[in-house]
Amino acid sequence: MRTLLYHGESRLSVGESPTPHAGPGEIRVRVDSVGLCRSDLYGYSGRNNRRDEVLAAGETLVMGHEAVGVIDELGEGVGGLELGQAIAIDPIEGCGDCDRCAGGETNLCPDRRVYGCIPAAPGGFAEAMVAPAANATPLAAGLSLEWGALIEPLTVGEHGVQLAGARPGERVLVVGGGVIGLGAAFAAARRGAEVTISEPQAARRELIAGLGLTAVEPAELDALPPHFALALDCVARPETLAAAVRAVGRSGTVVLVGIFSDEVPLPVSRVVENETRIIGSFAYVHEDFDNVAAWLAETDLDLDRLIELRVGFEGIIDAFDAYASGSFDGVRTIFQPDLEVASR
């Protein structure tokens, strides 16, 4: 089968790999759509070494952890799923034995593995992939499989809001209008919060407005009083963390969701004087994943707006290069192995 292989920083190739087979408790999925995640891009561009550090000499990695497709093989012992069924894959697999896994917190399992992020668990930038049946979330009949590829990044934002416990009527700020920020905004709005998104790009503010949400420039945010009960930083630059801390009032909560920079300065005096609560939010749990999939089946929003580019094997490396060079910055690019010509 055709596969996109990552060889290390700035090195990708399309090659042939053996078609995998589902083992006990596993399914094989014929890949339909996969989102191109910023974490993949940061590894490719050298912004961080999270993709390179898992590679031994001569190894390659099949990335793509935002995969959706159709089941075409069931492993021994798999029940409750059917051949031909459309599913999204939760890429986080816990060890199944620790206290975190017993409590459903596979994202915090010390021995977790993430499909598409280590060589031993190939992801979806391929014609087919294998995953645990327990990680499959069935998609509602009629739901666009492209939309299914949005579940994973939207769920990252969902988990941050779930951790913070956003309540009806609260003012909530989301810093960053990318797909994870939008996931947080949608999650807060579903809970009845009054949501504002801070986003510097005019085109994204227009997109956000078209989705029925309020977007402001960062400069406009600076002019507002610190009246937000909750702020979610979905970027993690020094200026975005500072903006989130400034935006919340006394006893407010700041949730760190994004990881652009590993270390950022903290406005300590402001945090201490206001008794600001700062919490981290990593990925999600499977319940969050299922909840977002259910919401996608019900929403009347036009989420096609989020997908700005579609590429197949012929265009995927060019898409990585375009993001890395800054010549393209679409909210989401979707890889589709059966697509031979890039489309928008």
Domains present along the chain, CATH in parentheses: 2-149+302-335 (3.90.180.10), 154-280 (3.40.50.720)
- For 220, other C-beta atoms within 10 Å of its C-beta total 11
Cβ atoms < 10 Å from Cβ of 266? 15
Q: Which residues contact 296 (CB under 8 A, 6 or more apart)?
A: 140, 143, 147, 148, 150, 151, 154, 303
Q: What are phi and psi of 108, to 5 degrees?
A: -105, 5
Pairwise CA distance, residues 83 & 66, whole Å: 21
Rounded CA gap, 267 and 287, in Å? 34
Give the global pTM: 0.95
Are the C-beta atoms of 182 and 195 separated by less than 8 Å? Answer: no
Q: In this predicted model, what pLDDT tens digit does every residue of 14-59 receive, in sequence order? A: 999 999 999 999 999 999 999 999 999 998 988 888 898 999 998 9
Q: What is the pLDDT of residues 211-261, one digit of tens each?
A: 999 999 999 998 888 999 999 999 999 999 999 999 999 999 999 999 887
Task: Write the DSSP assignment of 130-153 as a string of letters.
Answer: EEEGGGEEEPPTT--HHHHTTHHH
**How far lies 7's CA from each of 53, 62, 156, in Å?**
12, 9, 27
pLDDT score at 49: 86
pLDDT recorded at residue 341: 63
Which residues in 21-48 are b (16+ Cβ under 10 Å) and which e? ebeeebbbbbbbbbbbbbbbbbbbbeee
Residue 252 phi/psi, 5-degree rounding, is: -75, 170
pLDDT at 261: 79
Alpha-carbon gap, residue 304 to 112, rounded angstroms: 32
Give the pLDDT mean for 196-217: 96
pLDDT at 140 over 70: yes
Q: Which of 135, 101, 114, 108 minimizes the C-alpha distance to 281? A: 108
The alpha-carbon radius of gyration of the chain (Å, integer) is 20
Closest CA to 36 of 339, 307, 285, 342: 307
pLDDT tens digits for 154-193? 999 999 999 999 999 999 999 999 999 999 999 999 999 9
- The model's pLDDT over 112-139, given as tens digits with 9 standing for 90+, comes to 999 999 999 999 999 999 999 999 999 9
Do residues 319 and 343 make contact, with C-beta atoms less than 8 angstroms apart?
no
Which residues face 131 on adjacent strands? 27
